[in-house]
Chains A and B, each alone.
Chain A
Amino acid sequence: MSAYILETRDLALAYGGFRAVDGVSLRVKAGTIHSVIGPNGAGKTSLFHCLTGGRKPTEGDIVFDGRDVTRRPAHARVGIGMARSFQVTSLFQNLSVRENLRLASQGRDGDRALAFWRPVSAGRAHLERADRIMERLNLSARANAAAGDLSHGQQRVLEVGMALCGEPKLLLLDEPTSGMGIDDIPVMTKLIADLGRDHTVMLIEHNMGIVMSISDTVTVMSRGKVLVEGRPDAVRADERVRAAYLGEAG
């Protein structure tokens, strides 16, 4: 097995004539936090859609853990160890926090949940995992609250927790701090850094400042292509990165 858990080769996603992702070759090393950043319209989200199965790439392939997953549907990626969070919070709003996490744990086993003759309480492993993750997220006090009643910051944390319930080898996070208040952001960065200790994390972010402190590797995208890749300090110092971000501001 290679040291890289995720590889893309010449990945492209075209919408008509527009190439949102244009020949991206990425390698994510197992056990690291790898961030993909870039200004608006750089193709980060399109890349994320390809990685999670939301969109089928028009060219190139994606290899995860030695398996070609290029055309694998989204739900079928969970069972082999990929899990994702959403940029716009996507929870089971009317269900309790515990039920949200229990369902996410149950999802790891896919079609085994078709068992309609068995009581939910028989799935002890799922309940235990949900409780364990709830503890880790500091949400145990709100276990029975509806997910929709949590504060925005807590919902963002639960959003990441849902992905965690799949016991993934690779955690794909889509702008986890998106929409979070300035006070909540450190909570999230701390959580991600913490998760990085026992998961491989791939992070899509718009805000450069957030990822620099926690990432092992940073890939900067611009106009669908990889602009620069390297250690955070090297990336920060790179002239081309400054130009890309300045270009956005100007």
Chain B
Amino acid sequence: MVPLPKGVWGGTTPAVLAILALLPVAVPSATLATEILIFAMAALACNLLLGYGGLLSFGQGLFFGVGSYLAALAMIHLEVGLVAALAIAVAAGAAVATAVGWLAIRRTGIYFVMLTLALAQMGYFLAYTLSKWTGGDNGLLDVPRPPLALFGVELASLDGAYAYYAFVAVLFLAVYVGARRVIDSPFGSTLVAIRENEARAAAVGFDTRHFKMLAFTLSGAVTALAGALYAMLINYVPLDNVAIAMSEHIVIMTIIGGTGSLLGSLLGAGTLVLVGEVLSAIWPRWPLLLGVGLILLVMFLRRGLWGGVESLIARYRRRGEAAE
């Protein structure tokens, strides 16, 4: 028998690999599949804060928007390539998230949430005001999608929907594996400890502020990467990217999928993007149904869709054992 791979390549990672391979044929278009992965990335980053750190941040849209704008502006005005644009987005997202975290973690509970909300709102109005750069209400148009190139050598054109999907899928896998490593690290375990009991975590010697801030930095970096990839996907940065609604969207995906489970984030993002795609064609007021769905989920499936899948598997296993 072939031994199962252990660590970050074992467990749920093979399942993710299978999903990445099947997704573009399972959903109506490669573009839609790409969109799912981009939002799954953002949900994954949100999950690190919410599911593992217990930090409900409404700043996620701000980090997403920062990634979108900075990657787009760097490509348009500085004419940088793909890798550099993504690197700029990641660095900027990390920096902004660190700043937001630095301020917000001075308070806990509802005041913490309000601070992330207030900072995100400031970011939105800043983007709205700087219309010379961001296009304001009209959005930032003509965002290019440069070919994948390293050190001036062009490796692949990403113009085709499938080529771009493949590129995003590789990045998603890297983020997923990276996130699993982070969660299974001393840092990740400490983050869970802080979520469980902050007073005790401090009493055993952790400066809890440092851990929360690093969680923000990592989350912001990944969210901004997702934002940048999204701008390249739709060749456009709508002002909505940096709006509170974007934060909500990301938080809802995370909760629907299941907090504290990385695969859940992929599930949550996939569900929301697909349901949105299908329902919006039928009824423009579909978010109303989304609200109903969210209420049902919070009432009856507290651990999200992935939690539901897990209990189904457990029940199936128990039945299997009983039959033996």
By a beta-carbon cutoff of 8 Å, the part of chain A in contact with chain B is: 52, 73-76, 78-79, 83-84, 86, 90-95, 99, 102-104, 106-120, 123, 162-163, 165-166
Contacts and interface: CB of A to CB of B under 8 A. Distances in A.
Contacts of A94: 196
A221 to B, nearest CB: 23
Interface of B: 7, 181-182, 184-190, 192-193, 196-197, 199-208, 210-211, 214, 218
Contacts of A110: 205-207
Nearest to A74: B202
B181 A117 contact: yes
Given A107-B201, A111-B210, A113-B189, 9 more contacts: A75-B206, A78-B205, A99-B189, A103-B189, A113-B187, A114-B211, A119-B185, A120-B186, A162-B203
A244 B197 CA distance: 37
A74 B187 contact: no
Contact of A165 (B7, B187, B204, B214): B204
Contact of B205 (A75, A86, A115): A75
Given A95-B192, A106-B186, A116 B206 contact: no
A162 B185 contact: no
Given A74-B202, A90-B197, A90-B199, A111 B207 contact: yes
Contacts of A165: 204
A166 B205 CA distance: 8
Nearest to B202: A75
A104 B209 CA distance: 17
Main secondary structure of the interface of B (DSSP, over half): helix
10 tightest CB-CB pairs across the interface, nearest first?
A: A78-B205, A107-B204, A107-B205, A116-B187, A113-B186, A92-B196, A104-B204, A75-B202, A116-B182, A90-B200
Contacts of A73: 207
Nearest to A159: B200
B44 to A, nearest CB: 14
A102 B188 CA distance: 13
Contacts of B192: 92, 95
7 contacts: A52-B203, A93-B197, A110-B207, A115-B186, A116-B218, A119-B181, A120-B189
B204 A78 contact: yes
Contacts of A79: 205
Contacts of A83: 203-204
A119 B203 contact: no
Contacts of A114: 186-187, 210-211, 214
Contacts of A111: 207, 210
B190 A115 contact: no
A120 B193 contact: no
A144 B192 CA distance: 17
A162 B200 contact: yes
Given A75-B207, A78-B204, A106 B197 contact: no
A103 B190 contact: yes
B219 to A, nearest CB: 12
Given A114-B211, A114-B214, A119-B7, A166 B204 contact: yes
Q: Which of B182, B188, B200 has the most CB of A within 10 A?
A: B200
Contacts of A163: 203
A92 B218 CA distance: 24
A176 to B, nearest CB: 15
B196 A93 contact: yes
A235 B193 CA distance: 42
Q: Which of B199, B202, B208 has the most CB of A within 10 A?
A: B202
A163 B200 CA distance: 10
A31 B189 CA distance: 34
B203 A74 contact: yes
A166 B182 CA distance: 24
A157 to B, nearest CB: 16
Given A92-B200, A103-B190, A108 B205 contact: yes
B194 to A, nearest CB: 10
Nearest to A162: B204
A42 B172 CA distance: 60
Contacts of B193: 92, 95, 103
A92 B201 CA distance: 9
B208 A118 contact: no
A93 B185 CA distance: 20
A134 to B, nearest CB: 15
A160 B214 CA distance: 30
A115 B203 contact: no
Given A74-B202, A106-B190, A111-B210, A118 B197 contact: no
A84 B203 CA distance: 7
A112 B210 CA distance: 11
Given A107-B201, A166-B204, A115 B185 contact: yes
A118 B205 contact: no
A118 to B, nearest CB: 5
Nearest to A84: B203
B204 A118 contact: no
A86 B200 contact: yes
Contacts of A116: 181-182, 185-188, 214, 218
